[in-house]
Protein backbone atom coordinates (compact mmCIF):
# COMPACT_ATOMS: atom_id res chain seq x y z
CA UNK A 1 0.00 0.00 0.00
CA UNK A 2 1.53 3.35 -1.09
CA UNK A 3 1.85 5.79 1.79
CA UNK A 4 -0.14 9.02 1.32
CA UNK A 5 1.25 12.48 0.59
CA UNK A 6 0.05 15.17 3.03
CA UNK A 7 -0.73 18.51 1.33
CA UNK A 8 -1.67 21.42 3.58
CA UNK A 9 -3.96 24.18 2.29
CA UNK A 10 -5.24 22.17 -0.69
CA UNK A 11 -8.69 23.75 -0.92
CA UNK A 12 -7.68 26.01 -3.81
CA UNK A 13 -5.01 27.16 -6.23
CA UNK A 14 -1.56 25.50 -6.05
CA UNK A 15 -2.40 23.04 -3.29
CA UNK A 16 -5.55 21.91 -5.08
CA UNK A 17 -3.70 21.58 -8.39
CA UNK A 18 -1.05 19.37 -6.80
CA UNK A 19 -3.71 17.30 -5.02
CA UNK A 20 -5.50 16.69 -8.32
CA UNK A 21 -2.21 15.78 -10.04
CA UNK A 22 -1.42 13.26 -7.29
CA UNK A 23 -4.85 11.63 -7.63
CA UNK A 24 -4.47 11.52 -11.42
CA UNK A 25 -1.25 9.51 -10.87
CA UNK A 26 -2.92 7.18 -8.39
CA UNK A 27 -0.93 8.66 -5.48
CA UNK A 28 -2.99 8.56 -2.25
CA UNK A 29 -3.28 11.95 -0.54
CA UNK A 30 -4.38 13.51 2.73
CA UNK A 31 -5.23 17.19 2.37
CA UNK A 32 -6.08 19.98 4.80
CA UNK A 33 -8.57 22.74 4.17
CA UNK A 34 -9.70 25.62 6.38
CA UNK A 35 -12.59 26.93 4.31
CA UNK A 36 -15.05 24.42 2.88
CA UNK A 37 -15.39 24.58 -0.95
CA UNK A 38 -17.05 22.16 -3.42
CA UNK A 39 -13.53 21.28 -4.60
CA UNK A 40 -13.03 19.51 -1.26
CA UNK A 41 -16.07 17.32 -1.93
CA UNK A 42 -14.68 16.49 -5.35
CA UNK A 43 -11.29 15.53 -3.88
CA UNK A 44 -13.08 13.34 -1.32
CA UNK A 45 -15.11 11.62 -4.05
CA UNK A 46 -11.85 11.01 -5.94
CA UNK A 47 -10.44 9.21 -2.92
CA UNK A 48 -8.61 11.91 -0.97
CA UNK A 49 -8.78 12.06 2.82
CA UNK A 50 -9.78 15.68 3.53
CA UNK A 51 -9.18 17.00 7.03
CA UNK A 52 -10.35 20.39 8.27
CA UNK A 53 -7.51 22.27 9.94
CA UNK A 54 -6.92 25.81 11.14
CA UNK A 55 -3.28 26.27 11.99
CA UNK A 56 -3.79 29.75 13.52
CA UNK A 57 -3.29 28.29 17.00
CA UNK A 58 -1.02 25.58 18.38
CA UNK A 59 -4.13 23.76 19.58
CA UNK A 60 -5.37 23.80 15.98
CA UNK A 61 -2.09 22.31 14.78
CA UNK A 62 -2.18 19.63 17.47
CA UNK A 63 -5.84 18.77 16.76
CA UNK A 64 -4.87 18.28 13.12
CA UNK A 65 -1.89 16.08 13.99
CA UNK A 66 -4.16 13.91 16.15
CA UNK A 67 -6.63 13.59 13.27
CA UNK A 68 -3.80 12.78 10.86
CA UNK A 69 -2.43 10.04 13.11
CA UNK A 70 -5.89 8.49 13.30
CA UNK A 71 -5.87 8.14 9.50
CA UNK A 72 -2.37 6.88 8.74
CA UNK A 73 0.84 5.57 10.33
CA UNK A 74 3.06 6.46 7.38
CA UNK A 75 3.59 9.31 4.91
CA UNK A 76 5.33 9.42 1.52
CA UNK A 77 5.77 13.20 1.80
CA UNK A 78 4.58 16.38 3.51
CA UNK A 79 3.97 19.45 1.32
CA UNK A 80 3.75 22.56 3.53
CA UNK A 81 1.70 24.75 1.22
CA UNK A 82 -0.79 26.44 3.60
CA UNK A 83 -0.12 30.15 3.71
CA UNK A 84 -1.56 33.61 4.16
CA UNK A 85 -0.18 36.59 2.25
CA UNK A 86 -0.91 39.44 4.67
CA UNK A 87 0.46 42.93 4.01
CA UNK A 88 1.22 45.48 6.70
CA UNK A 89 -1.56 48.07 6.82
CA UNK A 90 -2.66 51.17 8.73
CA UNK A 91 -5.47 49.34 10.45
CA UNK A 92 -3.64 46.21 11.52
CA UNK A 93 -1.43 45.79 14.58
CA UNK A 94 2.08 44.86 13.35
CA UNK A 95 2.37 42.33 16.17
CA UNK A 96 -0.77 40.55 14.97
CA UNK A 97 0.56 40.41 11.40
CA UNK A 98 3.95 39.07 12.48
CA UNK A 99 2.39 36.50 14.83
CA UNK A 100 0.00 35.27 12.14
CA UNK A 101 2.78 34.97 9.56
CA UNK A 102 5.14 33.14 11.89
CA UNK A 103 2.32 30.84 13.04
CA UNK A 104 1.35 29.60 9.57
CA UNK A 105 4.75 29.67 7.85
CA UNK A 106 7.06 28.63 10.72
CA UNK A 107 5.29 27.15 13.76
CA UNK A 108 3.00 24.97 11.64
CA UNK A 109 5.72 23.28 9.54
CA UNK A 110 8.06 23.11 12.58
CA UNK A 111 5.47 21.41 14.80
CA UNK A 112 4.19 19.03 12.13
CA UNK A 113 7.70 18.03 10.96
CA UNK A 114 8.88 17.25 14.50
CA UNK A 115 5.78 15.35 15.61
CA UNK A 116 5.28 13.46 12.33
CA UNK A 117 8.90 12.58 11.45
CA UNK A 118 8.39 8.93 12.40
CA UNK A 119 5.55 8.68 9.85
CA UNK A 120 8.09 9.62 7.17
CA UNK A 121 10.83 7.39 8.53
CA UNK A 122 8.60 4.30 8.48
CA UNK A 123 8.80 4.08 4.71
CA UNK A 124 11.27 1.66 3.05
CA UNK A 125 12.36 4.26 0.50
CA UNK A 126 13.39 7.88 0.85
CA UNK A 127 10.58 10.29 1.70
CA UNK A 128 10.19 14.05 1.42
CA UNK A 129 9.28 17.29 3.12
CA UNK A 130 8.78 20.29 0.81
CA UNK A 131 8.27 23.83 2.10
CA UNK A 132 6.63 26.42 -0.17
CA UNK A 133 8.62 29.60 0.45
CA UNK A 134 8.88 32.69 -1.78
CA UNK A 135 11.30 34.61 -4.01
CA UNK A 136 10.98 37.57 -1.62
CA UNK A 137 13.24 35.73 0.83
CA UNK A 138 16.13 36.91 -1.41
CA UNK A 139 15.13 40.56 -1.65
CA UNK A 140 12.67 41.35 1.14
CA UNK A 141 9.33 43.03 0.60
CA UNK A 142 8.38 46.62 1.48
CA UNK A 143 4.68 45.74 1.70
CA UNK A 144 4.79 42.20 3.15
CA UNK A 145 7.56 42.56 5.72
CA UNK A 146 6.37 39.96 8.23
CA UNK A 147 5.36 37.58 5.43
CA UNK A 148 8.84 37.77 3.86
CA UNK A 149 10.54 37.31 7.26
CA UNK A 150 8.41 34.26 8.00
CA UNK A 151 9.23 32.71 4.63
CA UNK A 152 12.92 33.38 5.33
CA UNK A 153 12.57 31.49 8.60
CA UNK A 154 10.86 28.66 6.71
CA UNK A 155 13.83 28.62 4.32
CA UNK A 156 16.13 28.13 7.31
CA UNK A 157 13.90 25.33 8.64
CA UNK A 158 14.59 23.59 5.31
CA UNK A 159 18.32 23.51 6.12
CA UNK A 160 17.87 22.34 9.71
CA UNK A 161 15.36 19.60 8.92
CA UNK A 162 17.52 18.41 6.01
CA UNK A 163 20.39 17.94 8.48
CA UNK A 164 18.15 16.31 11.10
CA UNK A 165 16.32 13.85 8.86
CA UNK A 166 18.91 12.74 6.28
CA UNK A 167 19.29 10.26 4.72
CA UNK A 168 15.80 8.79 5.19
CA UNK A 169 13.98 12.06 4.50
CA UNK A 170 14.88 14.72 1.89
CA UNK A 171 13.88 18.27 2.88
CA UNK A 172 13.64 21.00 0.22
CA UNK A 173 11.81 24.21 -0.60
CA UNK A 174 10.29 25.81 -3.68
CA UNK A 175 10.60 29.61 -3.85
CA UNK A 176 8.05 30.94 -6.34
CA UNK A 177 7.54 34.45 -7.56
CA UNK A 178 4.27 35.14 -9.41
CA UNK A 179 2.56 31.83 -10.14
CA UNK A 180 -1.08 32.86 -10.27
CA UNK A 181 -2.88 36.11 -9.57
CA UNK A 182 -5.74 36.38 -7.12
CA UNK A 183 -9.25 37.14 -8.35
CA UNK A 184 -9.28 40.69 -6.96
CA UNK A 185 -5.95 41.75 -8.48
CA UNK A 186 -6.35 44.91 -10.56
CA UNK A 187 -5.24 45.18 -14.20
CA UNK A 188 -2.65 47.76 -13.16
CA UNK A 189 -1.22 45.41 -10.50
CA UNK A 190 -1.18 42.54 -13.00
CA UNK A 191 0.66 44.56 -15.62
CA UNK A 192 3.17 45.87 -13.06
CA UNK A 193 3.80 42.38 -11.67
CA UNK A 194 4.25 40.75 -15.08
CA UNK A 195 7.02 43.26 -15.82
CA UNK A 196 8.94 42.09 -12.74
CA UNK A 197 10.26 38.89 -14.35
CA UNK A 198 12.23 38.16 -17.52
CA UNK A 199 9.58 35.69 -18.70
CA UNK A 200 6.76 38.18 -18.06
CA UNK A 201 3.99 35.58 -17.73
CA UNK A 202 1.50 34.29 -15.18
CA UNK A 203 2.54 30.62 -15.52
CA UNK A 204 -0.24 29.01 -13.53
CA UNK A 205 -0.17 26.28 -10.89
CA UNK A 206 1.12 23.62 -13.27
CA UNK A 207 4.69 24.93 -13.02
CA UNK A 208 4.57 24.49 -9.24
CA UNK A 209 3.08 21.01 -9.66
CA UNK A 210 5.93 20.04 -12.02
CA UNK A 211 8.56 21.41 -9.62
CA UNK A 212 7.10 19.56 -6.64
CA UNK A 213 7.01 16.31 -8.61
CA UNK A 214 10.62 16.84 -9.75
CA UNK A 215 11.78 17.10 -6.14
CA UNK A 216 9.78 14.03 -5.10
CA UNK A 217 11.29 12.02 -7.97
CA UNK A 218 14.91 13.14 -7.44
CA UNK A 219 16.83 11.00 -4.90
CA UNK A 220 19.81 13.33 -4.56
CA UNK A 221 18.56 16.84 -3.78
CA UNK A 222 18.13 17.84 -0.15
CA UNK A 223 18.55 21.02 1.86
CA UNK A 224 17.96 23.10 -1.24
CA UNK A 225 15.50 25.79 -2.38
CA UNK A 226 14.44 25.63 -6.02
CA UNK A 227 13.63 29.09 -7.42
CA UNK A 228 10.49 29.22 -9.57
CA UNK A 229 10.49 32.88 -10.55
CA UNK A 230 10.69 33.46 -14.31
CA UNK A 231 14.09 35.11 -14.01
CA UNK A 232 12.85 37.79 -11.63
CA UNK A 233 16.28 37.96 -10.01
CA UNK A 234 17.72 39.41 -13.25
CA UNK A 235 15.22 42.19 -13.81
N1 LIG B 1 0.32 32.10 -5.87
C2 LIG B 1 1.50 32.67 -6.06
O3 LIG B 1 1.70 33.40 -7.06
C4 LIG B 1 2.62 32.44 -5.09
C5 LIG B 1 2.51 31.49 -4.08
N6 LIG B 1 3.56 31.29 -3.22
C7 LIG B 1 3.44 30.28 -2.15
O8 LIG B 1 2.96 29.07 -2.71
C9 LIG B 1 2.01 28.46 -1.81
C10 LIG B 1 0.68 28.26 -2.52
O11 LIG B 1 0.25 29.53 -2.99
P12 LIG B 1 -1.32 29.78 -3.23
O13 LIG B 1 -1.91 28.56 -3.86
O14 LIG B 1 -1.49 31.11 -3.87
O15 LIG B 1 -1.82 29.84 -1.72
P16 LIG B 1 -3.18 30.43 -1.13
O17 LIG B 1 -3.02 31.89 -0.83
O18 LIG B 1 -4.30 29.98 -2.00
O19 LIG B 1 -3.21 29.68 0.28
C20 LIG B 1 -3.27 28.27 0.30
C21 LIG B 1 -4.19 27.85 1.39
O22 LIG B 1 -3.61 28.12 2.67
C23 LIG B 1 -4.69 27.97 3.59
N24 LIG B 1 -4.46 28.62 4.87
C25 LIG B 1 -4.16 29.91 5.09
N26 LIG B 1 -4.10 30.16 6.42
C27 LIG B 1 -4.40 28.98 7.05
C28 LIG B 1 -4.53 28.57 8.40
N29 LIG B 1 -4.37 29.45 9.39
N30 LIG B 1 -4.84 27.28 8.66
C31 LIG B 1 -5.03 26.40 7.65
N32 LIG B 1 -4.93 26.71 6.34
C33 LIG B 1 -4.63 27.99 6.05
C34 LIG B 1 -5.92 28.56 2.91
O35 LIG B 1 -7.01 27.73 3.25
P36 LIG B 1 -8.56 28.05 2.99
O37 LIG B 1 -8.65 28.68 1.63
O38 LIG B 1 -9.18 26.66 3.04
O39 LIG B 1 -9.02 28.96 4.11
C40 LIG B 1 -5.55 28.55 1.42
O41 LIG B 1 -6.44 27.87 0.59
C42 LIG B 1 1.94 29.37 -0.59
O43 LIG B 1 2.79 28.91 0.42
C44 LIG B 1 2.42 30.71 -1.12
O45 LIG B 1 2.98 31.53 -0.10
C46 LIG B 1 4.70 32.05 -3.27
C47 LIG B 1 4.84 33.00 -4.26
C48 LIG B 1 3.84 33.23 -5.26
N1 LIG C 1 -0.27 32.49 0.34
C2 LIG C 1 0.04 33.23 -0.73
N3 LIG C 1 1.29 33.70 -0.88
C4 LIG C 1 1.57 34.48 -1.97
C5 LIG C 1 0.61 34.75 -2.94
C6 LIG C 1 -0.70 34.22 -2.76
O7 LIG C 1 -1.61 34.41 -3.58
N8 LIG C 1 -0.92 33.47 -1.65
N9 LIG C 1 0.88 35.51 -4.04
C10 LIG C 1 2.08 36.09 -4.19
C11 LIG C 1 2.30 36.95 -5.41
O12 LIG C 1 1.94 36.23 -6.58
C13 LIG C 1 3.73 37.46 -5.59
O14 LIG C 1 4.60 36.38 -5.76
C15 LIG C 1 3.83 38.32 -6.83
O16 LIG C 1 3.20 39.53 -6.63
C17 LIG C 1 3.17 35.92 -3.20
N18 LIG C 1 2.80 35.01 -2.12
- 85, 90, 96, 98 alpha-carbon torsion, rounded to 10°: 50
Per-residue model confidence as pLDDT tens for the chain (235 residues): 799 999 999 999 999 999 999 999 999 999 999 999 999 999 999 999 999 999 999 999 999 999 999 999 999 999 999 999 999 999 999 999 999 999 999 999 999 999 999 999 976 789 999 999 999 999 999 999 999 999 999 999 999 999 999 999 999 999 999 999 999 999 999 999 999 999 999 999 999 999 999 999 999 999 999 999 999 999 9
Q: Write down the architecture of domain 5-234 according to CATH.
A: 3-Layer(aba) Sandwich (3.40)
| 147 included as an active-site residue | yes
Between CA 228 and CA 232 the distance in angstroms is 9
Query: Does ligand 1 lie within 6 Å of residue 35's CB atom?
Result: yes
Give the span between the Cα atoms of 174 and 158, in whole angstroms: 10
Q: How far is the CA of 203 from the centre of ligand 2 (A)?
A: 13
Are residues 23 and 39 in contact, defined by beta-carbon separation less than 8 angstroms?
no
CB count in 10 Å sphere of residue 180: 16
Give 125 Cα–ligand 2 centroid separation in angstroms. Answer: 33
Ligand having the closest approach to the CA of 150: 1
Tell me: ipTM over 0.90: yes
What secondary structure does DSSP assign to 48-87, as a single string?
-EEEE--TTSHHHHHHHHHHHHHH-S--SEEEE-----PP
- Catalytic: which of 36, 147, 189, 220? 147
What's the predicted TM-score (pTM) here?
Answer: 0.98
Amino acid sequence: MTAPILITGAGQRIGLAFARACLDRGQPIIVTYRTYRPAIDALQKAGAVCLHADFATNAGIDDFIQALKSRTDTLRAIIHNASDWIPESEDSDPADVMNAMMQIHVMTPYRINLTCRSMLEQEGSTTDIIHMTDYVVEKGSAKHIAYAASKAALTNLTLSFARLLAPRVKVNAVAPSLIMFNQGDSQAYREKTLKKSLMGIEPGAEVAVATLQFLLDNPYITGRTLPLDGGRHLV
